[in-house]
């Protein structure tokens, strides 16, 4: 019989009681035990970025972390981005700039860039290009993703000026 560990995870502000094997990854736990399937499983080696979530505000590859390591941390998934049915600025920009095609990699990009924009709302194009090069996309060619992110930086500047 396989030993399991019972612990609580906080995902998108909600507490989940989990009873999993100690070796179960965070991405599998988010999807299977929390029922949040927006985070995708890609390469399972930390290369593609499809499983990117925010852990205490920082982007991480959830396929490389055991779920038990996230106890006591705040996890945010792509499901946290829209509020009251309204898309976030970044989600809206992805639509407007055709930054997605098949959509498989999109949740990972959204979480990577959300974390980066929250950390530095004045990202330069060079920084954006460097960031998006850490995730893999087979469809878009990345230009739409860069343009969408640049437009959010510009929108955030306008919002800040009008405050």
Across residues 68-85, what is the average pLDDT? 97
Rounded-to-integer distance, Cα 53 and Cα 107, Å: 8
Q: 139-143 — which CB contacts under 8 Å span 24+ positions?
A: 139/100, 139/101, 139/102, 139/105, 140/98, 140/99, 140/100, 140/101
**Pair (55, 100) in one structural domain:** no
CATH number of the CATH domain containing 27: 3.10.20.30
Confidence label for 1 from pLDDT (cuts 50, 70 and 90): low
Closest CA to 89 of 64, 116, 58, 114: 114
In a domain, 125, yes or no: yes
Instruction: Tell me if 84 is assigned to some domain.
Output: no
Q: Is residue 117 domain-shared with residue 143, that is, in the same domain?
A: yes
Last residue of a domain, one of 48, 79, 110: 79
Structural domain tally of the chain?
A: 2
Residue 39 lies in a domain: yes
78-107 mean pLDDT: 96
Structural domain boundaries enclosing 119:
89-161
Q: What pTM was computed for the model? A: 0.95
Are residues 22 and 67 located together in one domain of the fold? yes
For the chain, state the CA radius of gyration.
16
Q: How do residues 60-72 score in pLDDT, each as one tens digit?
A: 999 999 999 999 9
Does 142 share its domain with 95?
A: yes
My answer on whether 135 and 157 are in the same domain is: yes
């Amino acid at each position: 019989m396989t030993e399991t560990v019972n612990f609580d995870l906080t995902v998108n502000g909600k507490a989940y009681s989990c009873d999993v094997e100690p070796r179960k990854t965070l991405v599998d736990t988010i999807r299977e035990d929390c029922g949040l399937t927006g985070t995708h499983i890609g390469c399972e080696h930390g290369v593609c970025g499809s499983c990117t979530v925010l852990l205490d505000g920082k982007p991480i590859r959830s396929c490389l972390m055991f779920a038990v390591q996230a106890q006591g941390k705040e996890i945010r998934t792509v499901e946290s981005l829209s509020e009251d049915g309204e898309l976030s600025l970044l989600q809206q920009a992805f639509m407007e700039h055709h930054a997605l095609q098949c959509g498989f990699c999109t949740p990972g990009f959204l979480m990577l860039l959300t974390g980066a924009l929250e950390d530095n709302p004045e990202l330069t194009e060079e920084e954006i290009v460097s960031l998006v090069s850490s995730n893999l996309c087979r469809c878009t060619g990345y230009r739409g993703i860069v343009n969408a992110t640049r437009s959010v930086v510009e929108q955030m500047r306008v919002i800040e000026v009008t405050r």
